[in-house]
Amino acid sequence: MFKNKVFRYSTLAMLLAIVAYFLIETFSPPKKAPGIVSNEELNPATYAELIQDDRKDLEKWFRTSDESPIEDQAAFKGLDYYAPDIDFRVVAKLVPYQGEDKILEIHNTDGSVDPYERYAFLHFELGGSPQKLLLLKHEGVFSLMWKDGTSGKTTYGGGRYLDFTAADIKSNQLVVDFNKAYSPYCAYNHQYACPLPPAENTLTVSVAAGEKFTAEK
């Protein structure tokens, strides 16, 4: 009987250790991977200037490029944005998707459907609140599509996007900068078909960062 008790207790201890390890690995703040720049290493003023420069370049492209979704480029008055806020730049931990149903059919605004791969879940915090988003892969591009409390109010109702390459992922970590969040082309031109965020990618907080959307403008 004594040996049986020892066996049961050791088995229970092992199971508790496994559970604790899983919780720590999934929800604890990630240790900075090589190549990942933390917010503490950035100068907030310089960072804000870089974001503003990127926005100026994008607006110039919208105004001049032949591939711009803006039909009347001469009348284009520019885009609206939230002020740069470094707190909306987060280092997310990737947890690879383990389900067998890796292929997810993403519906587009024109009713068509495209196959995407469920690549990983991103775990991070915003405003001290734990969040999770599904990172998708399609034609070599890693896409983050989501809705939040601003969708349909101050941002495009169909959701916003961020795109990444394989080189952006370092040791299962990814810098997610919501200050670079953008609206899809269909927000500006109905001739474009845009993918809609999957149901699980609805955040419980408002992401007051990145591109706003004003239909009249």
Residue 147 · residue 159 · CB < 8 Å: yes
Q: How confident is the model at residue 35 (pLDDT cuts 50, 70, 90)?
A: confident
Residue 138 structural domain: 39-187
- Nearest CA to 119 out of 89, 148, 139 is that of 139
Looking at the 3D structure of the chain, how many domains does it have?
A: 2
Residue 200 domain-assigned (yes or no): no
175 and 110 fall within a common domain: yes
12 with 51, same domain: the answer is no
Q: Specify the pTM.
A: 0.83
d(CA 31, CA 40): 13
Q: What is the percentage of the chain residues whose pLDDT exceeds 70? A: 83
Same domain for 25 and 101? no
Q: Do 23 and 72 reside in the same domain of the chain? A: no
**Do 45 and 23 fall within a single domain?**
no
Q: What percent of the chain has pLDDT over 90?
A: 79
Q: What is the mean pLDDT of residues 159-184?
A: 97
Residues 6+ apart with CB under 8 A from 99: 118
* Residue 84 contacts residue 70 (beta carbons within 8 Å): no
Note whether 72 and 153 are same-domain residues: yes
Residue 124 and residue 91 in contact, taking contact as beta carbons nearer than 8 Å: yes
In a domain, 82, yes or no: yes
Residue 206 resides in a domain? no
Same domain, 19 and 62: no
Lowest mean pLDDT among 24-28, 156-160, 181-185, 201-205: 24-28
Asked, for residue 208, whether it belongs to a domain, the answer is no
Residue 79 domain-assigned?
yes
User: Do 20 and 89 belong to one domain?
Assistant: no
Q: How far is it, in rounded angstroms, from Cα 169 to Cα 90? A: 13
Residue 193 within any structural domain of the chain: no
Residue 216 belongs to some domain of the structure: no
Same domain, 137 and 61: yes
Specify whether 105 is located in the same domain as 20: no
Q: How far apart are CA 29 and CA 125, in angstroms?
A: 9
Average pLDDT, the chain: 88
- DSSP code of residue 139: T
Distance CA 92, CA 152 (A): 26
- pLDDT tens for 39-56 read 999 999 999 999 999 999
194 contacts 111 by C-beta, under 8 angstroms: no
Query: Residue 214: pLDDT band by 50, 70, 90 thresholds?
Result: confident
Asked whether residue 23 falls in the same domain as residue 95, the answer is: no
Flag whether pLDDT at 128 surpasses 70. Answer: yes
Is 151 among the domain residues? yes
Answer yes or no: do 71 and 132 share one domain. Answer: yes
- What's the pLDDT band for 164 if we cut at 50, 70, 90? very high
